[in-house]
Amino acid sequence: MEEKEPPPFLKTWKNVYFLVVVVELCIILLLSAFTSYFK
């Protein structure tokens, strides 16, 4: 699908999706650290 309306700041939609994946990975890693720390 054409991307006539790129998002602000991140320039392309691929960058936006990549950001979402990175944030999710960080959340999972943080939660793993949280689980290990409070075991």
Partner 1 sequence: MSTIDWLVLCLTLFGIVFYGIWKSRGAKDLDTYLLANKQLPWYHVGLSVMATQASAITFLSAPAQSFNDGMRFVQFYFGLPLAMIVLCITFVPMFRKLNVFTAYEYLEKRFDTKTRLLTAALFLIQRGLSTGLTIYGPAIIISTILHTSINTTIVITGLIVIGYTVYGGTKAVSYTQILQMTIIFAGLFLSAYLVVTMLPAEVGFVDALSIAGKMDKLKAIDTNFDWNNRYNLWSGIIGGFFLHLAYFGTDQSQVGRYLTGSSVAESRLGLVMNGLLKIPMQFLILLIGVLVFTFYQFYEAPLFFNKVESAKIEQSPYAANYQSLESEFKILSAQKREQVLVLTQAFEQKNEALIEKTSGQLKITEQKVKEIRKKVPELLTKNDPDADANDANYIFLRFVTDHFPKGVIGLLMAVIILAAMGSTASGLNSLGSTTVVDFYKGVFRPAESEARYLAVSRWSTMAWGVFCIGAAIFASKLGNLIEAVNILGSLFYGTILGIFLVAFYLKKVNGHSVFYAAVIAEVFIVYAWIVDLTAFLWLNVMGCLLLIVLAYLIQLIHDRKKPLNIE
Q: CB of residue 20 vs partner 1: minimum separation in angstroms?
A: 5
**Contact assessment for residue 29 and residue 38, using Cβ atoms and an 8 Å cutoff:** no
**Contact assessment for residue 25 and residue 31, using Cβ atoms and an 8 Å cutoff:** no
Which tokens belong to 38? 């409070």
Q: How many residues bind partner 1 (CB under 8 A)?
A: 21
**Contact assessment for residue 10 and residue 16, using Cβ atoms and an 8 Å cutoff:** yes
Binding mask 1-39 for partner 1 (x = CB under 8 A): x--xxxx-----x--xx--xx-xx--xx--xx-xx-xxx
Interface residues toward partner 1, by CB under 8 A:
1, 4-7, 13, 16-17, 20-21, 23-24, 27-28, 31-32, 34-35, 37-39
